[in-house]
Amino acid sequence: MISSNRMNKLTDHFVHAVFFACALSAVLAVLTISFYIFIAGWPIIHSRGLSFLFGSHWYPNQDVFGILPMIVGSIAVTFGALSIGVPMGLAGAIFLAELAPPLMIRILRPAIELLAGIPSVVYGFFGMTLLVPWIRVYVGGNGYSVLAGSIVLAVMILPTIITISETSLRSVPKEYKEGSAALGATHWQTIHRILLPAASSGIIAGIVLGMARAIGETMAIIMVTGNVTAIPTSILDPTRTLTGNIVLEMAYAAGDHQAALFATGAVLFFFILLLNLLVTAISRQAVRN
């Protein structure tokens, strides 16, 4: 008969092995996908070099592949979303963490969490049917534009920014607030000069994660930006993002065209990797502080 201690050790080893296998499978999946994308896109990157990254023309039928318009479009839409979403998200987090009464918190927090669960195609449909016509009538252009994509993405990244920023603000020790109040500071002065600097690492991490969500979004952006492969010169110009370029053309691409789309995915993967490394660095800095 196996003793109970022996059985417990065997159970612990088995559970440890299962958890290790699960973690390893996730890592292997990421490495496999990354390896496949880079290998599939390498022929174009190798043959075209910097002209692939900085070329301003995308004509697959003429064997011309330049993704600079899509890079500029992705950056423009992402930073447009951040310029709208970050102030709103930070204000919402401050309100929930410091100003809102308990009853309002119980109402607003589930509503914010619901925003995170809405499918992106629903946001795109809302933007296409309501936002695009409104921009066309009251702002200018044909409606399908960088501005439309920025507004839709700003709404989509709000839950991430609000949730993480609120958690960071609530994690600031109460002694900070009590000390500020004891020195005669007002509530707003305490928020502005004590809480926000103390929670800055978590707030920045939330912003970076929202940026990663924005730059990787596809369906909603396709529906509201117009998908024109030209460098936008105004927020009212149509544009196409890296993700939109892949989704729109992968179904019929072949040969060098398909390799160019895989190379586009590799560039997008590189951007996301940089953002993830930035979040990791911010988190480690927060732990040190």
Q: Using H for helix, E for strand and C for coil, what is the string for the chain?
A: CCCHHHHHHHHHHHHHHHHHHHHHHHHHHHHHHHHHHHHHHHHHHHHHCHHHHHCCCEEHHHCEECCHHHHHHHHHHHHHHHHHHHHHHHHHHHHHHHHCCHHHHHHHHHHHHHHHHCCHHHHHHHHHHHHHHHHHHHCCCCCCCHHHHHHHHHHHHHHHHHHHHHHHHHCCCHHHHHHHHHCCCCHHHHHHHHHHHHCHHHHHHHHHHHHHHHHHCCHHHHHHCECCCCCCCCCCCCECCHHHHHHHHCCCCCCHHHHHHHHHHHHHHHHHHHHHHHHHHHHHHHHHC
Residue 133 confidence (pLDDT): 94
Give the angle subtended at the CA of 279 by the CAs of 34 and 86, to the nearest 5°.
115
Phi, psi of 252 (to 5 degrees): -115, 5
pLDDT in tens, 143-161: 899 999 999 999 999 999 9
CB 80 within 8 A of CB 69: no
Look up residue 9 and give its two tokens: 């050790």
Which tops the pLDDT comparison, 209 or 282?
209
pLDDT in tens, 246-277: 988 888 888 889 889 999 988 888 888 887 77
Average pLDDT over residues 60-71: 89
pLDDT band at 3 (very low <50, low <70, confident <90, very high): low
CA–CA distances in Å: residue 78 to residues 74, 160, 175: 6, 15, 37
Taking each helix axis as running N to C, give the angle between helix 256-288 and helix 200-216, from 0 to 180 degrees, rounded to the nearest 10.
170
**Do 128 and 120 contact (CB within 8 A), yes or no?**
no
Our CA angle for 112, 75, 57, nearest 5°, is 140
Task: Write down the pLDDT at residue 1.
Answer: 47
Say what the pTM is.
Answer: 0.85
Q: pLDDT tens for residues 197-226?
A: 888 888 888 888 888 888 888 889 999 998
Structure-block tokens of residue 108: 């607003």
What does the mean pLDDT of the chain come to? 86
All domains of the chain in start order, with CATH: 58-288 (1.10.3720.10)
CB 99 within 8 A of CB 108: no
Dist. CA 118–CA 171, nearest whole Å: 28
